[in-house]
Structure 1
Amino acid sequence: MVSKPHGGKLVRRIAAPKTRERIIGEQREYPKAEVDHGRAIDLENIAHGIYSPLKGFLTSDDFQSVLDHMRLSDDTPWTIPIVLDVEKPEFEEGDAILLYYDDLPIARMHVEEIYTYDKKEFAQKVFKTTDPNHPGVAKVYGMGKYLVGGEIELLNELPNPFAKYTLRPVETRVLFKERGWKTIVAFQTRNVPHMGHEYVQKAALTFVDGLFINPVLGKKKRGDYRDEVIIKAYEVLFKHYYPRDAATLATVRYEMRYAGPREAIHHAIMRKNFGATHFIVGRDHAGVGDYYGPYEAWDLFDEFPDLGITPMFIREAFYCKRCGGMVNAKICPHSEEFHVRISGTKLRKMIMSGEKPPEYMMRPEVYEVIRSFENPFVE
């Protein structure tokens, strides 16, 4: 059975056509606030129910409850604060305002609350560090002085060069139902697939009806693969190595927080809203640097028996020369001298230097896709 949306109901916060037309026509009469690209994406994810049960940005009660207890004030599991920050509000509580990104009115917001917050507390509780070298912490330290809470209505979406690959929760739920999938495992990725990824995905698929590959598109770090490279690589992998009736690919736009274990829970909630019943939790899931332990995210799931989606903990895969294939530590009896670890960093270095990875590390078709791009990496 496709999972119920988080909180019980799939949120939809999109202005009706006539309402949108009226608001756009009256836009000069509204107070306004500018949002960055990440907040514009958050608005889309709220509006389409990817962040269900949120109907807008968090008010102070929910914000503090998320920091302290990893739950909304009504006790619904929620681990990442979805907030709107401003340096100096030019509006008041009770106002309806328009949120703009790059001169485009993205949403109308009903301002319920304007409140202050402690940035160090935010950083420490969400990221487990106040180190400004952590990208998530640095983002928090650069936020405005105030947070604004309240419900939103989406007016416009950002230009989407990958609309062909974009499916919303209301669409994936129909797709899964049409395919007769009752159990669906979701896999989040922001990399091109190597053999380790394929092993983990197919190991999970063995136990469920369908596999939902859900690459994250959006802002990435220097050296990461470009969005179009990731999509093309998965396309060719699906064409040659995945059963058509048991796997599907759709993208989601989302700004990574690099919050490790907390973000792993958040990613699971997002996929629950898409309709997944299971979620693959990776090694060092949503981590960065050495701020989190390699399997720390696995432990946090024990604190959420009411999450409503089943985590799948599949250990990191490696190639064993004695076994002659991809294995993991649970099923391989051989010593480390026979193991070849498949590191994304190592693969990138090989590709950058023009070296073709061995087939036990990466499918040759995937390598050819990467090589077909003049510059496959973010600069």
Structure 2
Amino acid sequence: MGAIPHGGRLIDRVLSGDQQQEALHRASSLPCLELSEEQACQVENLATGVYSPLEGFLTQDALMSVLERMRLPGGLPWTIPIILDVDRRAAAACEEGRDVLLTYQGRAMGLLHLKDAYGYDKPTVCRQVFGTDDGAHPGVRRVLAMGDTLLGGDVDLIEPLDTPFASRHLTPREARVLFTAKGWRTIVGFQTRNVPHLGHEYVQKTALTFVDGLFINPVVGPKKRGDFRDEVILAAYDALLRNYYLKDRAVLAVLKTGMYYAGPREAIFHAIVRKNFGCTHFIVGRDHAGAGHYYSPYAAQEIFDEFPDLGITPLFFTAFFYCRRCQGMANEKTCPHGEQDRLAFSGSKLRDAIVQQTGESALLIRPEVADTIRAVDNPFVTG
């Protein structure tokens, strides 16, 4: 059965065959806007219902409501602005009330029914979304590099993107069909941008104890320097699922979007997105969607108190570690032993485990996962 889509219905703005042909026939008479890869992914997510109830990019009124209230104008929870930025030259070529042809790599992929073209204050957006306007924050850095004008309006998808992960992609509608076929009535979603270690596995399997199925939904798209590359994350999860999970209890599918690193606001956004895929529960761990020390460790859990009407049940987990005396995974709620007995999941220890697969660090990651990562010459984002 799964959760009811956010707002009550799953948005579908994917054009049919005849509609596609009509849109392509009109294309030559429309102003044209070439999208970045990230913007093109947003168009696809909007049209296929990933961002239900949104049907397009936020207008100015909707943006202000999201920034100031963390809700859409009608009151529905929404925390991350879905916006389309352009430079002044591109904005001048577009006229409010007209359709704009959206292209990616020169190919027609969608239509924007332009309602609003407006300026915005970047530092204000950053402070409200990220809680900071520090240019060292990766989300702030991205906003400050955006164009000076935002375009708002509904979108239609003419043709989805070609991506290297197409076989691993599910729309919300397809995911719901799959969950129903498996007989899952309750589903827990897991957001990730990292390769899996034993702490992740322990959280997932603990949550799975209480529901019918697990939906692992890694994001593929722009990431910050030092993050694992998308293909490495997927290969690592393949190794984990193949060796340590029941096949009829876990599904992995990618979500084509970038990370915002917006901490608490992004945790709510991630929950809403998985609700649209049909998840009834969502895992929220320590420092969810964080970046550095901009958010307190459990801020992403505390924010859920402000959204009793969210429509999906959050499952909160504290930090996990390996306890030498317990000889297994534990957290502060289950382990009575002190810091001297605990082996934490630090980045340096995990890298040691991956590179060397010896000593105590090897206790933090499955050997099959480490072998998979180690087989890649350069597993990290360098740009």
Give TM-score, length-normalised by structure 2: 0.95
Q: Give the aligned residue type for 1:241.
A: Y
1:291 to 279, 294, 308: 294
Q: Give the aligned residue type for 2:309.
A: D
Q: Which residue of 2 aligns with 1:149?
A: 152
Q: Which residue of 2 aligns with 1:111?
A: 114
Following superposition, the deviation at residue 26 of structure 1 comes to: 3.3
Q: Is the 8 A contact 1:6 1:308 kept in 2?
A: yes
Q: Is the 8 A contact 1:104 1:156 kept in 2?
A: no
Query: Is 1:56 matched with 2:59?
Result: no
Q: Which residue of 2 aligns with 1:208?
A: 211
Query: Is 1:307 matched with 2:336?
Result: no
CA distance in 2, matches of 1:83, 1:237: 36
Q: Which residue of 1 aligns with 2:178?
A: 175
CA deviations over 1:109-149 (Å, ceiling 9, x no partner): 11111122221211110010011111111121122222111
Give the total of aligned pairs. Answer: 378
1:99 to 97, 102, 109: 102
CA deviations over 1:26-85 (Å, ceiling 9, x no partner): 322111122222111111110110000000001111110000000000001000010111
Q: Which residue of 2 aligns with 1:19?
A: 19
Query: Is 1:133 matched with 2:136?
Result: yes
CA distance in 1, matches of 2:354, 2:188: 30
Following superposition, the deviation at residue 249 of structure 1 comes to: 1.1
Following superposition, the deviation at residue 22 of structure 1 comes to: 2.7
Q: Which residue of 2 aligns with 1:39?
A: 39
Following superposition, the deviation at residue 345 of structure 1 comes to: 4.3
Q: Which residue of 1 aligns with 2:343?
A: 340
RMSD over aligned Cα, in angstroms? 1.4
Q: Is the 8 A contact 1:6 1:272 kept in 2?
A: yes
Q: Which residue of 2 aligns with 1:199?
A: 202
Could you list the runs of 5+ residues in structure 1 that have no partner in the other structure? none
Q: Which residue of 2 aligns with 1:70?
A: 70
CA distance in 2, matches of 1:375, 1:290: 27
| SS of match in other structure, 1:360 | helix
CA distance in 2, matches of 1:264, 1:23: 36
Q: Give the aligned residue type for 1:228.
A: E
Q: Which residue of 2 aligns with 1:83?
A: 83
Q: Is the 8 A contact 1:217 1:227 kept in 2?
A: yes
Q: Which residue of 1 aligns with 2:367?
A: 364
Q: Give the aligned residue type for 1:28.
A: S
Q: Is the 8 A contact 1:356 1:367 kept in 2?
A: no
Q: Which residue of 2 aligns with 1:163?
A: 166
CA distance in 1, matches of 2:323, 2:357: 21
Q: Is the 8 A contact 1:57 1:150 kept in 2?
A: yes
Following superposition, the deviation at residue 18 of structure 1 comes to: 1.7
| SS of match in other structure, 2:363 | coil
Q: Give the aligned residue type for 1:132.
A: G
| SS of match in other structure, 1:376 | coil
| SS of match in other structure, 2:128 | helix
Select between 85-94 and 270-279 the one with higher mean Cα deviation.
Answer: 85-94
CA distance in 2, matches of 1:247, 1:350: 26
CA distance in 2, matches of 1:208, 1:359: 30
Query: Is 1:9 matched with 2:9?
Result: yes
CA distance in 1, matches of 2:232, 2:86: 35
Select between 94-103 and 288-297 the one with higher mean Cα deviation.
Answer: 94-103
Q: Give the aligned residue type for 1:38.
A: E
Identical pairs, percent? 54
With over 3 angstroms needed to count, the CA separation of the structure-2 counterparts of 1:351 and 1:364, relative to structure 1, is closer
| SS of match in other structure, 1:156 | coil
CA distance in 2, matches of 1:9, 1:272: 11
Q: Which residue of 1 aligns with 2:224?
A: 221
Following superposition, the deviation at residue 235 of structure 1 comes to: 1.3
Give TM-score, length-normalised by structure 1: 0.96
Q: Which residue of 1 aligns with 2:234?
A: 231
Could you list the runs of 5+ residues in structure 2 that have no partner in the other structure? none
Q: Which residue of 1 aligns with 2:29?
A: 29
With over 3 angstroms needed to count, the CA separation of the structure-2 counterparts of 1:349 and 1:36, relative to structure 1, is farther
| SS of match in other structure, 2:96 | coil
CA distance in 2, matches of 1:104, 1:283: 41
Q: Give the aligned residue type for 1:209.
A: D
CA distance in 2, matches of 1:162, 1:35: 20
